[in-house]
Amino acid sequence: MRKQADVRDNNRITIIPEYGRQRLLNYAESFRDLADLFEEEEEFEERDRSDPYNRQDYLWQRRLQENQGLLAEHLKEMAHILTQVAKETYVYRPMGERRFRRMARLLKDPGILLKHFFELEHEDGHTEISLTMRIGSDKYLRAKDADRISAEDVADYISTALGIRLHAAKSGPLYLTPEWNTYYFLEEPQFQFLTGAAKAVRESEKVSGDNYSFWESDNGRVAVILSDGMGSGEKACRDSGRVIELTERFLEAGFCKESAIQMINGALTAAGQEENLSTLDLCDLNLYTGECEFIKVGAACTYIKRGRLVDRLSSQNFPLGVFERLEPEVLYRTLQSGDYVIMLSDGVLDALSQGMGEEVLPEIIGRMEYRNPNEIANQILTYCIRQSKGQVRDDMTVLVMGIWNKD
């Protein structure tokens, strides 16, 4: 198999060949040049705006200029994304002949033939194993459905051999076949997590204007995403649902979170400032390290519960779709085993303002003895509804994620 790149520093390699890396950088530079072209300010001829025709022409030109600005921002984001991809690296550990033969012998017992064996170390330190293999044809023909060898079975075999706990990547094939395929195995993260949710719909509506998602990636990351659409009802539900869907798609595609949010904001802004306002609250947790990134765009407070101690994270910026260029607030925390992240929509805090006020919520959360995230979410929601004397004047959503060591 041809080496993937010639440029190495202590076995650190780019994930794509050098010629491909350079092409990506050239594309990025082209996008930046196009963005500069669109950003060149045009001087419009001043006309008498009392004339309806002149006023209409002026407004059309202004709208065109705004759209060109949005396009320029998107081109810049694409250039940034391509540059980041081109610079991504792994630490590559070449497998010696002796180690390869040992792995081949191990897999031969259950009838598996091994062709290639690579080990990569990601930037955050966790290990990924790549095996190109197939099941022997005779073994495959004799096996019944219950006896088929799965990728998870192979993960068990090689975990014992390598001395690290591995699991099969979710994006890969589930079972081995007689054809050669490449299967990826990832080191199991340090932490496991549980999630919970509780919702209440505004009294006059049938559907909630809040939407949320718990999204987990192959590479040991989990994201909690919450969006509150402006107003309530079906329109707000569609708007916030679109934000959740786009955020998930960009994360799945491997986009940088900040770039993804800028592009989503640009799309909403182009559709009209007063039509698509939605908040975005994103919690991105690395299950290997416990490092957690919170990105808030017009979102309500987030709380981190550690025993009886409660950390309150807040933001003061505007929702998506208001300005062409966003300045999302990004906060960082390192979570420990037994911590809980609690995210709320605006309706929850509005309900509290009708009673004892938002200031009492950290104390209430700190006193809770529940360990199940669903119980915590339901208890918070119940308390807030009581504060508003049983009235639900706005959509209310409470999301909870708890993490624990696997050992």
**Alpha helices in 88-112, H assignment, sequence order:** 97-108
> How confident is the model at residue 5, as a pLDDT?
38
pLDDT at position 199 over 50: yes
Domain residue extents for the chain: 12-90, 94-187, 191-405
According to DSSP, the β-strands at 340-344 and 329-334 are unpaired
Could you say which of 1.10.1040.10, 3.30.9.10, 3.40.50.300, 3.60.40.10 is the CATH number of the domain covering 191-405?
3.60.40.10
3-state DSSP call for residue 281?
Answer: strand
Percent of the chain scoring above 70 in pLDDT: 79
Query: Do 131 and 154 contact (CB within 8 A), yes or no?
Result: yes
When pLDDT is cut at 50, 70 and 90, the band that residue 196 belongs to is: very high
pLDDT at position 141 over 50: yes
Q: Which residues in 63-111 belong to E strands, given as ranges?
A: 89-93
According to DSSP, the β-strands at 309-313 and 302-306 are antiparallel
Residue type for position 86: A
pTM score, whole prediction: 0.79
Percent of the chain scoring above 90 in pLDDT: 45
Arithmetic mean of pLDDT, 108-132:
84
Query: Do 32 and 110 contact (CB within 8 A), yes or no?
Result: no
User: Which one is predicted more confidently, 339 or 124?
Assistant: 339
Count of CB atoms situated within 10 Å of the CB of 316: 7
User: Which one is predicted more confidently, 7 or 401?
Assistant: 401
Q: Among residues 292, 290, 294, 291, which one has the least CA distance to residue 282?
A: 294
Query: Do 335 and 401 contact (CB within 8 A), yes or no?
Result: no
> How confident is the model at residue 166, as a pLDDT?
92
Query: Do 379 and 367 contact (CB within 8 A), yes or no?
Result: no
pLDDT digits (tens, 9 = 90+) for 344-383: 999 999 999 887 878 899 999 999 999 999 999 999 999 9
DSSP string, 173-236: -SB--SS-EEEEEEEPPSEEEEEEEEEE--TT-SS-SEEEEEEE-TTSEEEEEEEEBSSSHHHH
Q: How far apart are CA 21 and CA 8, in angstroms?
A: 14
> How confident is the model at residue 171, as a pLDDT?
79
pLDDT at position 227 over 80: yes
User: Which one is predicted more confidently, 397 or 256?
Assistant: 397
